[in-house]
Amino acid sequence: MGFMGMRYLVTAIAVCRNYSTNGRSKVFEKGYKSKAKYKKKYPRNPIPRIKWTDEQKKVLDCISRGCSVFITGSAGTGKSVLLKNVIHRLRKQHGKNAVFVTAPTGVAACALKGQTLHSFAGIGYTTRDREIMLDWILGDRRAYRRWIMAEVLVIDEISMVDADFFENLEYISRKVRQCDKVWGGLKLVASGDFFQLPPINPQNSSGKEFAFESDCWDSSFDVQIELTEVFRQSEPRLIKLLQDIRKGQLDPDDLELLEKSCSVIQPDPSAIQLYPRIDDVNRANEEKIKALSKRKTVYRASDTGNDALKRQLSKGLASDKLVLCEGARVMLIKNLNVWHGLVNGSTGTVLRFEVADGAAHLARDNVLPVVKFDSGKEILIEPETWSIMEGGSLLASREQLPLVLAWAISIHKCQGLTLDNIHTDLSRAFGCGMVYVALSRVRKLENLHISGFCPKRIKAHHKVLQFNKHFAQEQDKQVKDECWSQPEKDSSSSTHAIPDKTTIGLEETRHEFSLKEFLSSRLRGFSLKKFLGSRFQAK
């Protein structure tokens, strides 16, 4: 083919791509004649690089040294962003099948493509007796395998894990792995802020509520690090207000700011209503959508996986049934394009529906909504997939539009989100941390509107305050702890079921590994070279 022929071919391929009926291409065509023009205006570099702070670097450093780490910090200090990076690094370091990512709630677990802590552990909610739990796991081949295969257990939103459950899991890990070291030698990476939402139904028989009260808390971590730089907000007076609310204390300046936020009589209709209780959320959304006398389109989620995992998926953010119509206020529940601000929490309005391939299995009408986001961007929303992964394998998935109705959402579901503009009715707020979670979602004070406020609803738990005080005193000491000089815990105390040590020599270096470590790594498909590589990296 000559030069001209080649040019025609290239042009023909480009035309086909730009004008294909594929939904994704249409996204780029809105307002742009071609994908190329769109790309020129919005260069496709979807993930802005984050420059880690020294504190965040410390966490990454400890992870690469093989430490067990607890990451804490107030809302918006970058715990979630950092944790995603930590997971990525851990998977490179230990192999995908040895890193298990969990959270106590479906919403938090789905946000990390992980599973709930109960689902990982292989236990139901019906018993709190650790021996019964242990029997279940020993009788469940898959659950047993998970505990044996795991080298690292990641737990996000640790503030919602209760003390007894945390202790029971540590005990189970030791027993199943037949190793007397804390967590049976399993490394733990936990993240969360105890000033945010507490455990939902803590068992009170022992008098303990929070995970930090469990006997094994301190021994579970080599390092406990607090992130102190807030990124979500930049206004110093808002940061101060939120820090004070976090600790349950208000001064006259804080009250003055709060009063201003309460003074708006007619709040901006684009603001999301945050309610403490789910019945208020459902009522508000139903009333609003009914009031729009437009044709409704129903999208039903399409799931794979067993019933228990499907239940977890339906507790996540993606709805079982999503009813939309023109004019509906919606919120994105997945990052579509970080670079263009189309992220988890972005709000907009459904403009119209377009017939599109790939919608028939979700909606009878075979149409997809075009949403105009508050930032001005207008895009066709296509189905997205939420997965539950176990190591490298897919356990379950849900396909649904990445939208929820956004006239109202619950404070429990918004933990972890950044929201552009909120109006929160705090008249039915209950428990500790709830007001703090609600108010800390916004970036700017001007976008915070409050009603039903009463200072007595601002509560921080006295145990959390005590823990925080102790933590601040200990932190410096812990950072300097032996982890920095001796990254691996002393392996001489190991009491593996197969205690024989195998010494594997490579060139002039000799390292000691337990036979069990080696065999379990082979089980995960590691070659000898990869196994040795990962061990040297950890050392």
Binding site for ligand ATP (CB under 6 A): 50-53, 56, 73, 75-81, 193, 231-232, 416, 418, 440
Closer residue to ligand ATP in complex, CB, 78/122: 78
How far apart are CB 418 and ligand ATP at their closest, in Å?
A: 6
At 168, is the secondary structure helix, strand, or coil?
Answer: helix
How far apart are CB 316 and ligand ATP at their closest, in Å?
A: 16
> What is the C-alpha separation between 462 and 447, in angstroms, rounded?
30
How far apart are CB 159 and ligand ATP at their closest, in Å?
A: 9
Closer residue to ligand ATP in complex, CB, 85/451: 85
> What is the C-alpha separation between 413 and 345, in angstroms, rounded?
11
Residue from 444, 488, 405, 49 nearest 237 by CA: 444
How far apart are CB 176 and ligand ATP at their closest, in Å?
A: 31
Closer residue to ligand ATP in complex, CB, 221/436: 436
Number of helices and strands in the chain (H, E):
21, 22
Name the DSSP letter for residue 524.
T
Q: How far is CA 339 from the centre of its chain?
A: 20
At 430, is the secondary structure helix, strand, or coil?
Answer: coil
Residue number, nearest CB to ligand ATP: 78
At 257, is the secondary structure helix, strand, or coil?
Answer: helix
Closer residue to ligand ATP in complex, CB, 19/231: 231
How far apart are CB 22 and ligand ATP at their closest, in Å?
A: 30
How far apart are CB 165 and ligand ATP at their closest, in Å?
A: 21
In the numeric block, the tokens 């507490």 are attached to 198
Closer residue to ligand ATP in complex, CB, 75/150: 75
How far apart are CB 86 and ligand ATP at their closest, in Å?
A: 12
> H helices of 263-387, where?
278-291, 307-315
Show the beta-strand stretches assigned E in 104-185: 115-116, 152-155
Closer residue to ligand ATP in complex, CB, 234/509: 234
> What is the C-alpha separation between 522 and 311, in angstroms, rounded?
33
How far apart are CB 64 and ligand ATP at their closest, in Å?
A: 18
Closer residue to ligand ATP in complex, CB, 52/484: 52
> What is the C-alpha separation between 419 and 371, in angstroms, rounded?
17
* Residues 6 or more apart whose Cβ sits within 8 Å of residue 297: 323, 324, 325, 353, 363, 365, 367, 369
At 489, is the secondary structure helix, strand, or coil?
Answer: coil
Report the chain's C-alpha Rg in angstroms: 25
Closer residue to ligand ATP in complex, CB, 73/122: 73
How far apart are CB 21 and ligand ATP at their closest, in Å?
A: 35
Closer residue to ligand ATP in complex, CB, 188/438: 438
> What is the C-alpha separation between 458 and 440, in angstroms, rounded?
13
